[in-house]
Structure 1
Amino acid sequence: MRRDFHIKKLYGYLLKTYIPLFLMTFAICLFLVLMQFLWKYVEDMVGKGLGLNVIGEMFLYAALQLIPLALPLSILLASLMMFGNLGENLELLAIKSAGISLIKAMVPLIALIVLICIGTFFFQNNAMPKIQPKFYSLLISIRQKSPELDVPEGVFYKEIEGYNLYVDKKNRKTGMLYGVSIYDVSSGFQNMAVIICDSAEMRTSEDKLSLVFTMHSGQQFQNFTQGTENMNFSSEFIPYARESFVTKTMTIPYDDNFNRMEESVLQESESSNYVSKNIAQLRVSIDSLEQFIDSVNISDRKIMKQYTYLSFRNSYPQEKRDSIVEHATASMKPDMDSIFASKDIQTQTAILQNAYSKADNNGNDYLFRSMSKTTTQRNINRQWIEWHRKFTIPFACLVFFFIGAPLGSIVRKGGLGTPIVISVILFIIYYILDNVGYKMARDGVWDHWIGMWFSSMILLPLGIFLTYKAMTDSVIMSTDTYTSFFKKLFFIREKRNYTLKEVVIEEPNYAEVYQSSRELTDEVAAHLQKYGTLGYKTYWTDNGYDHSLTSIKNKMENMLNQLSNSRKPMVIEKAKEYPVLIKYVRPFNTGSTLAKLCMYIFPLGVIMKLLSLPFEKRINRDLNAVLTLNNELNEIMNNQQRKVAV
């Protein structure tokens, strides 16, 4: 009963720690993806005079629409931070010391993530079909909104369709424009009009559907080609009209209103209505589209059979169409090449032209039909993508939890630094894989279920692997593990670090050390004599080499541990010169079935034996160095004993 109480307290503590952390990371991640959205669509919104209510509504719909993208990243980051903090503060060690495994400690969080996944599914299925039409209709309306007029100085302004406007100077207080040139090409280049004036005023009409220019002291030049098509003018002369004016008013069509698209336009569109459907509606739509393609294929096969294959039979009477086929035999088949060669050149040309014309017409007809079917199939792919997305996003949340939680317990680094770096790297990988699968499914290269579940299929084994490693207290993310590996790989020697101790509880017994040194010398000499040159068969089958090397290493370390307590500087310095023996590297245990199998696979076994030669030479050099150092150490200890005796 007491144990259950403590486990419940632990579960409560974990939930109280995780939920605020998750909410914080979710807010951060949603803000980041929202900034990505702003960066992507900033050109469509800037300079159009949009009201704050429109911009606020746009950001609200964008934030709601981006929740499925921010949710997996926030779960990953929160899991990494929480379990990294637990590992860094040794709280995870205390939990395991109490007999509670990592997976058992994760039970309340797993339940919470499952609830989040279920909520995400219902959000995707029920809320997103209502949010996405509002978002995309508003985005399209903003894109179609005309830019706010801000005519620059000394540059041609081309934002007014059909007109190019040049202003030399302008008074920003009064809005008066000076040195104005207007090029009107709205009626075509042949009927272009050019207006030049000293000054002009520009304002928007009350209904905001046109611009009103009031121009002062200027001239207008206009080509005059309308109605003169039948007149004989040389190519060098085009009639034009010239007009001088003191004050002239001109109206230019320019819609400055914000015309909002109706959501029903997207919902009724065959190419984009998938954004407004839930699972049941998508399934109905997919079935109807697939039935449509099947009916078109059946119709195409009938047309192909009737009008393309043996189409000449269509001119025969119904009762005589198959009479020739019924009476024909294999020996009576005509030689089509000989019949064609028997015709004159004109007839042959007519036959070929007729065949080419029929083939070209049939090709164009079926190309048009195939384009219709391709568009329908692409629409089906989009519908399937949206259907699978209802499930892939919640599943990705679960996968990212089983990546982040065990990885945090392995890394044992809390805070925002290391977890953010790892989260960003993993999420970029997920984002790339998800986009690759999406585009492959959209274009029909992969089946829709393979493309949409591609990223999850790649990351799920990673989550299982990390969970297993975390439960077995793996050192997969320990820097010491990789440092040791690279030191062995590049033969970087470790150095012994012995110093004179100010306080020594027990000094070494030099007589025992001397005896251990003699025994070590004999064992090393015997090892070098037997295994100095390691044969091919011995390398794979004789496990005595490893046992002998392990025994030598243990005896040497025991002897050096005693000498590390010595008060004699010369002994300490000599002990520091002893090499650190490395373990002989083999892919399989000596004498095992895999080792013997590898030995008999001739090229593979020889290659591995050759790769092990550098390790073998280093070990032999170190053992010879041990023999030399043993003799020098014995000499030092003998000299010290003589001095003490004198």
Structure 2
Amino acid sequence: MKTIHKLVLKAYLGPMVLTFFIVMFVLMMNFVWRYIDELVGKGLSAGIIIELMSYAMANMIPMGLPLSMLLAAIMTMGNLGENYELLAMKSAGMSLVRITQPLIIVVGIVAVGSFFISNNLVPYSNKKMFSIIYDIRQQKQSLEFQDGLFFNGIDNMSIRVGHQDPETHLLTDVLIYDNRASNGNMNTIVADSGYIRLSDDKKYLLVTLFHGQTYEQTRNSQWFTKSVLRHHTFDLQKQVIPMDGFAMGRSDADMFSNAQTKNIHELQHDIDSLEIRVNDATTTSYEPLLKEQIFVRDNTVLPVADSLKIDKSYFRDLLATDSLPGLPTREKEKVWDQARTLAKNSRNMFAFDESTAKEALNQLYRSKIEWHRKISLPVSILIFFLIGAPLGAIIRRGGLGLPVVVSVIFFVIYYVISLTGEKMAKEGTWDAIYGMWISTFILTPIAVYLTYKATNDSALLDTDWYAGKIKAMKDRVEGWLGPRFGKWKNRIKIKKRNKRNG
């Protein structure tokens, strides 16, 4: 490897790693704010949170790689251009393609690696992440008491404490409403102080109360007028109440299988199977509808046995609308009622059968979208690099100022176009190949144009060049409109003078 290539490669690897982690941090913060309400107040261990964040970060790699490649390319080429190193290389006879040759190789390796990440790592991470999020949602909030407020996090129980000591966790002025009995029995406990906590395995509620009273209303599934009231006092009362939902349960990750949790081979298998299901469901829906509802008496519409076919080549056209006016009023009403009834039956039959095929069709759309997403990711990384490298050579600005602004603008355009195409593909308006590749089709000409301009040292973003062009255009317009504007102004003055004299 030449020394000049080592210089360019060294200048690129640092910003690439830096921008990748910056982008991943920003995307990670977006994930945290999205699920912050479900993570707080559940008493989750640090291991569970780190595991969830790790899987979420792996899921965001396909989104972070293109942006980091774009930003790193603009920063690298911008720094080389700002320090006149790029100018020195071109003066030595090296073209832009030759200068960026080692970077193209590195980006190509990253693009190939991104396919395996998207195909193998991301589906596994999605499956694990969906499983953990489901388990967190099923877990109840941790046992936390606030002074003077009722805690209703336990089913059929309400607990209110007057004050909780922050060091000893001693509760004072305790009030408990217990309605857990299925036969209608209710207990109310009032105590001066006590301790209420979960066991170490979070499967039991340990209650220890001091100096209180218990009020019991016993109904035993009878009418409320036949309930029995009891009251007794105690100095010490201990209870061990079974609890569900406070412990972090772990579900089987295989339960959360969808298009986002499968690799490209599994997606291709699903696509083939779903296409057969959709075709069978469509045939099952339309064929009975045509045979039994719409064309009941016309056996030429659908294929039938040869013995049942009727040659209608010599038949006249049926003009049903011409025969209706000649019918009596009651006969007309009868015909319209029959037609209306058949139409409603046909619509109801089709709506019922359509619902069975709609789910398979949605799964087919999503499987095709994920299949094309895995293929389009490496191409998008290459496209973003081919945009960033010539753009950095043109603007000749390094650092995190202008390159960040330009990168964000291009990425927002790419993201909006991708979301729009994906939405159209999910709805079935567009085919998946158009919905998932439209952003690439739009950005590829831009990459080619910028590469052409940078190779020819075009002043694409030079403000002085634009100022000179605008000034020349302004002088040309003034030279063309000046005499005409002067004549028009003199005519107005003459008209005003004539009116004043007249």
| TM-score in terms of structure 1 length | 0.65
Considering Cα pairs closer than 8 Å and 6+ residues apart, tell me whether 1 or 2 has the greater RCO: 2
Q: CA deviation at 1:439?
A: 2.0
Structure 1 contact 221–240 (Cα < 8 Å) conserved: no
Q: How is 1:482-501 mapped onto 2 (pairs within 5 angstroms)? A: 482-484=466-468
Q: Measure, in 2, the Cα distance between the counterparts of 1:427 and 1:61.
A: 24
Percent of matched pairs sharing the same residue: 33
* Counterpart position of 1:458: 442
Q: What is the aligned counterpart of 1:246 among 227, 233, 236?
A: 233
> 2:188 aligns to what?
195
| Partner residue of 2:141 out of 147, 150, 155 | 147
> 2:212: which partner in 1?
217
Residue correspondence of structure 1 range 215-294 to structure 2 within 5 A: 215=209, 217-220=212-215, 226-228=221-223, 242-247=229-234, 249=239, 251=241, 253-267=243-257, 272=258, 274-294=259-279
Deviations, residues 87-125 of structure 1 (Å, cap 9, x unaligned): 111111111111222122222222221221112112222
SS in 1 for 2:159: strand
Work out which of the residue numbers 481, 495, 498 in structure 2 matches 1:613: 481
* Alignment correspondent of 2:498: none
Give, in whole Å, the separation in 2 of the partners of 1:411 and 1:430.
Answer: 21
Q: Mapping of 1:152-191 within 5 angstroms?
A: 152-183=146-177
Please tell me whether the aligned partners of residues 119 and 264 of structure 2 are also in contact (alpha carbons under 8 angstroms): yes
- Choose the corresponding residue for 1:113, options 69, 84, 107: 107
Tell whether the 8 Å contact from 1:210 to 1:255 is kept in structure 2 after alignment.
Answer: no
Q: Could you say if the C-alpha distance between residues 244 and 135 of structure 1 is closer, same or farther in structure 2, counting changes exceeding 3 Å? A: same
Q: What is the CA-CA distance between 1:448 and the residue it aligns to?
A: 1.1
Partner of 2:476: 584
| CA–CA distance in structure 1, aligned partners of residues 189 and 314 of structure 2 | 88
Residue matched to 1:394: 378
Q: Is the counterpart of residue 13 in structure 1 residue 3 in structure 2?
A: no
Q: Kindly tell me: are residues 12 and 197 of structure 1, through their superposed partners in 2, closer, same or farther at Cα, counting changes over 3 Å?
A: same
CA contact (8 A) 1:214 1:250 kept: no
- Which position in structure 1 is the counterpart of 2:463? 479
Using structure 2 for the length normalisation, give the TM-score: 0.81
Out of 337, 354, 359, the position equivalent to 1:375 is 359
Which amino acid in structure 1 is aligned with residue 253 of structure 2?
E
Matched, 1:137 2:124: no
Cα distance in 1 between the residues matched to 2:102 and 2:56 = 32
**1:328 and 1:469, CA in 2 relative to 1: closer, same or farther beyond 3 A?**
closer
Deviations 1:358-406 (A, max 9, x none): 6555534422322222211111111011101112211111111111111
Asked if 1:307 corresponds to 2:292, the answer is yes
- Residues 281, 243 of structure 1: alpha-carbon distance in 2 compared, 3 angstrom cutoff: same
Partner of 1:404: 388
Whole-angstrom distance in 2 between the partners of 1:464 and 1:615: 44
- For residues 290-369 of structure 1, the aligned pairs below 5 Å read 290-309=275-294, 335=323, 341-342=329-330, 352=337, 360=344, 362-369=346-353
Displacement of 1:326 in angstroms is 12
Secondary structure of residue in 2 paired with 1:453: helix
1:414-425 alignment, distance < 5 Å: 414-425=398-409
Letter in 2 for 1:474: S
Deviation at 1:430, TM superposition (A): 2.1
Partner of 1:427: 411
TM-superposed deviation, 1:75: 0.8
* Cα distance in structure 1, aligned partners of 2:159 and 2:472: 74
Q: CA deviation at 1:245?
A: 3.4
| Inter-CA distance 310–424: structure 2 relative to 1 (3 Å threshold) | closer
Q: Aligned with 2:162: secondary structure?
A: strand
Distance 1:313 1:447 in 2: 36
2: distance between equivalents of 1:447 and 1:279?
18
Which residue of the partner structure matches residue 42 of structure 2? Answer: 48
SS in 1 for 2:145: coil
Q: 1:424 to 1:310 in 2, by over 3 A?
A: closer
Which residue number in structure 2 is paired with residue 496 of structure 1? none
Tell me the alpha carbon deviations over residues 60-91 of structure 1, each in whole angstroms, 9 at most, x when there is no partner. Answer: 22222221111111111111111111111111
**Matched residues in 1 for 2:7 and 2:332: separation?**
98
Structure 1 Cα separation of the partners of residues 273 and 80 of structure 2:
54
Partners of 1:212 and 1:252 within 8 A in 2 = no
CA distance in 1, matches of 2:460, 2:313: 78
The CA distance in 2 between the partners of 1:308 and 1:238, in whole Å, is: 61
User: Could you tell me which amino acid in structure 2 is paired with residue 420 of structure 1?
Assistant: V
Which amino acid is 2:439 matched to? S
Distance 1:322 1:461, change over 3 A: closer
For residues 332 and 8 of structure 2, what CA distance do their matches in structure 1 show? 95
For residues 89 and 29 of structure 2, the distance between their equivalents in structure 1, rounded to whole angstroms, comes to 40
Which whole-Å CA distance do the structure 1 matches of 2:483 and 2:372 have between them? Answer: 53
Residue type matched to 2:267 in 1? L
Change (3 A) 1:286 1:186: farther
Structure 1 residue 193 displacement after superposition: 4.7
- Are residues 87 and 45 of structure 1, via their aligned partners in 2, closer, same or farther at CA, if it must alter by over 3 Å? same
Distance verdict in 2 for CA 1:186–1:294, change over 3 Å: farther
1:132–1:275 Cα contact (<8 Å) kept:
yes
Render the CA deviation track for 1:318-374: whole Å, top value 9, x for unaligned.
9x9999x999976898956766744699xx59x94x876665555344223222222
Q: Structure 2: how far apart are the matches of 1:255 and 1:53?
A: 19
Tell me the matched-pair count.
Answer: 475
Q: 1:74 to 1:616 in 2, by over 3 A?
A: farther
Deviation per residue, 1:26-67 (Å, 9 max, x gap): 222222222222222222222222222222222222222221
Letter in 2 for 1:197: V
Aligned residues of 2:157 and 2:180 also touching (Cα < 8 A):
yes
Mark the runs of 5 or more structure 2 residues left unpaired by the alignment: 300-304, 487-502
